[in-house]
Structure formats: structure tokens, C-alpha cells
Structure 1
Amino acid sequence: MKIAFMIIHVLICLAIIAVVLLQPAKVQGLSSAIAGGAETFFGKNKARTYEGKLSKLTTILMVLFVLSSMLLVYLLNK
């Protein structure tokens, strides 16, 4: 049982690494953050884009990571 959860935990970790590496860099400098950053932040279809889907997947994987970490701590201290 413990080994199965450890394998799932490692797979979640690898998925997080892959999803984070797939996300494009957001290095645009301070001037673009002040001038044009609001346009992309309040975009209507941001959740439907590739970046939006990766962001949502990252959030889901991070929640699963935290839950699996807590479950592993509970199982290993039992």
C-alpha cells in the first residue's frame, strides 16, 4: 500500500516538472508590466488558451502533490 502511494507521488512530481517546463517564460521586464500587462491579465479567453490550460493543470497537480504528501506522512508514521 505504501509503495503504491509512493509511486503515485513520484508520478505526480514528474508530471509537475513536465507541466512547469512546458509553460512559456513570462520575462517581459518592468516596463511591459506597467504598460501592457493589464490587457493580457483581463483577457476574456485566457482560460481557453494553451497557457491557461497548463496553469489550471499545474494548480490541480500541486493540490494532488500536497494531498499525497500528507497521506504519505500519515502512512509512514503509522
Structure 2
Amino acid sequence: MLHTILMALLVIDAIALIIIVLLQSGKSAGLSGAISGGAEQLFGKQKARGIDLILHRLTVVLAVLFFILAIAVSYFGL
């Protein structure tokens, strides 16, 4: 039962991590400057810097949680 709960949390975390990464704008001014990031389109250009900072911090938190959950799933799955 614990394995199933951890696996469900891992899947939710992975989906959230993918969404958060896709919302971030690119660092280069090449193709991403023409297309712009998802955060700028959703939240406006003035808020993009603040939103990018929040998205970056949330990415770090979700990535750490992903690794912890992956280790826990492999440990309790045995």
C-alpha cells in the first residue's frame, strides 16, 4: 500500500515538474525570443521576471522531491 501511495505521488510530481519546466522562458535570445516562454504568455511581460524566479525555485523543490520519492519507491518496492 505504501508503495502505491509513493508511486502515485511520484507520478504527480513528475507531471508537475514537466509543466513547471515548460512554463519557464528560455535563457537564450534565439528562437525562444521569437516564441517567448509560456510564463510570459500566461502572466504578461512585466511579471515574467518575478514569475521566472518563482518557477525556478519551484523547479528546484519539485526536482528534490522527485529524487527523494524515486529513492523511496525503489527502497519500499523491494
TM-score, normalised to structure 1, is 0.71
Whole-angstrom distance in 1 between the partners of 2:55 and 2:68: 20
Partner of 1:35: none
Measure how far apart 1:62 and its partner are.
0.3
State the distance in 1 between where 2:8 and 2:68 align: 14
* Equivalence for 2:68: 67
1:19 is aligned to 20
1:28 aligns with 2:35: no
3-state DSSP of counterpart to 1:49: helix
For residue 16 of structure 2, what is the amino acid of its counterpart? Answer: A
Q: Where does the alignment leave 5 or more consecutive residues of structure 1 unmatched? A: 30-47
| Pair member with larger Rg | 1
Runs of 4+ in 1 over 4 A off after TM superposition: none
Q: How does 1:38-77 map to 2 (within 5 A)?
A: 49-77=50-78
2:25 match: secondary structure: coil
Q: Which residue in the other structure is 1:34 paired with? A: none
Structure 1 distance, partners of 2:19, 2:51, is: 14
Structure 2 unpaired stretches of 5+: 31-48
1:25 CA drift (Å): 1.4
Give the TM-score, by structure 2 length.
0.71
Higher relative contact order (CA 8 A, sep 6+): 1
Deviation at 1:73, TM superposition (A): 0.7
